[in-house]
Amino acid sequence: MEAEGRTLRRVVLLTGVQLLVLAGALVLVLAGLGLLLWSAYLGLSVALGPSAAAVVLGLLLFILAGVLTWLTLRLSR
C-alpha cells in the first residue's frame, strides 16, 4: 500500500509538472502569435525596422514553445 502511495504521488507530481510546462508553452505560443501579428502590422506601416526584430523574437518564442512541448511529451513516456 505504501509503495502504491509513493507511485501515485510521483505520477501526480509528474502530471502537474507536465501541465505547468504545457501551460507555459501555450503562453509562449500566444505571445509568439501576438508578436508575429504585431510585426506584420509594423511591416506594413513602416519599411522593416522594428518588425524584423519582432519576427525574430516571435520565431524564437515559437521554437521555445516547441521545445517545451517536446519535453512535455518526452516526460510523459
The alpha helices in 2-76, defined as continuous H runs, are 2-45, 49-75
Contact yes or no for 17/64 (Cβ under 8 A): no
**18-77 pLDDT, tens per residue?**
999 999 999 999 999 888 877 777 776 676 677 777 777 778 878 988 998 999 999 888
Contacts of 24 (CB under 8 A, 6+ apart): 68
Parse the chain into domains and list their residue ranges: 2-75
**Single pTM value for the model:** 0.54
Residue matched to cell numbers 518588425: 51
